Amino acid sequence: MTDQDQKKSGQSTDSMTLAGQQPLPSDSAAASWTVAGIVVMFAAGLLTVGALRYYNLHLEDPPSVAAYASLIYIGLTVLAAFFLIRAGAPVRHLGFVLTVRPWLIIVFVLLGVALLQLAGSLLTPVWENVFGSGRDLTRFSDVAGSPAALVRLLVLNWTFAAFGEELAFRIVLMRGIAYALGDSRMAIATALIAQAVIFGLVHVYQGPAGIAGTAISGLVYGCLTLAARGSIWPAAIAHGLNNTIGIVEMYSA
């Protein structure tokens, strides 16, 4: 065997995977590791934003950077989406394509809102019994009886919350995790659960009940996104409608 043949043989052996001894392209493996690194840093950034929101609400003298939590959140999402696209992760269209028929989107939205409302009704007494209290929504308490605060919160809900959070968690984070893990069924299931847990933890300022309830909402939104084959529309619209119901209830109270 010549030196050139030995070199080729060594390259072939190095490219074999443990599972089934199938060759794995080095660029594909490198892309997966790159995406994994981006996703880990993005998740850490999201959790940091959640902590900053908590400090801003619950500490008498929060760090000055806590006031910019929302801007940091937006910046992290934009950067993560940019780097994931550069790394080859399938988030180029950011979920804004119609992958299912419009009538099916309506069905998904109605189903999602119904599930969220039902879960809220059934689980609120459970959270109060387990944690001693329900969600801490004092961050939004100024909306009660204030038309100006109502309009402002509804605008933020349909932009920052409905589409912003769905873009960050169900498109960038969930798709990034699934791609980094190989896009198998197990990878997608893991990504679904992981993004829901992180989604809940980011809402730590709402207390333990808020973390649990938001994590369940994250599972519903994630399932809607998967059912719509990666489209952001069903989950974002369901998110906006579900929040709108809660906002109007707080305003009326």
**How much is the pLDDT for 14?**
36
The tens-digit pLDDT sequence of the chain (253 residues) is: 555 454 444 444 333 333 333 444 556 788 889 999 999 999 999 999 999 999 999 898 989 999 999 999 999 999 999 999 999 998 889 999 999 999 999 999 999 999 999 999 999 999 999 999 999 998 898 999 999 999 999 999 999 999 999 999 999 999 999 999 999 999 999 999 999 999 999 999 999 999 999 999 999 999 999 999 999 999 999 999 999 999 999 999 8
> Does residue 18 sit within a domain?
no
> Does residue 135 sit within a domain?
yes
> Does residue 237 sit within a domain?
yes
Cα separation of the two ends of the chain: 83
Angle at 12 between CA 11 and CA 17, to 5 degrees: 115
> Does residue 12 sit within a domain?
no
> Does residue 120 sit within a domain?
yes
Whole-angstrom distance, CA of residue 126 vs CA of residue 133 = 9
Whole-angstrom distance, CA of residue 88 vs CA of residue 106 = 31
Domain that holds residue 207: 25-252
Both tokens assigned to 225: 């996104």
**How much is the pLDDT for 18?**
33
**How much is the pLDDT for 9?**
45
Given a contact cutoff of 8 angstroms between Cβ atoms, the answer to whether 218 and 191 are in contact is no
Which one, of 221, 218, 233, lies nearest residue 163 by Cα? 233
**How much is the pLDDT for 92?**
81
> Does residue 16 sit within a domain?
no
> Does residue 242 sit within a domain?
yes
Q: How many domains does the chain have?
A: 1
**How much is the pLDDT for 26?**
52
> Does residue 15 sit within a domain?
no
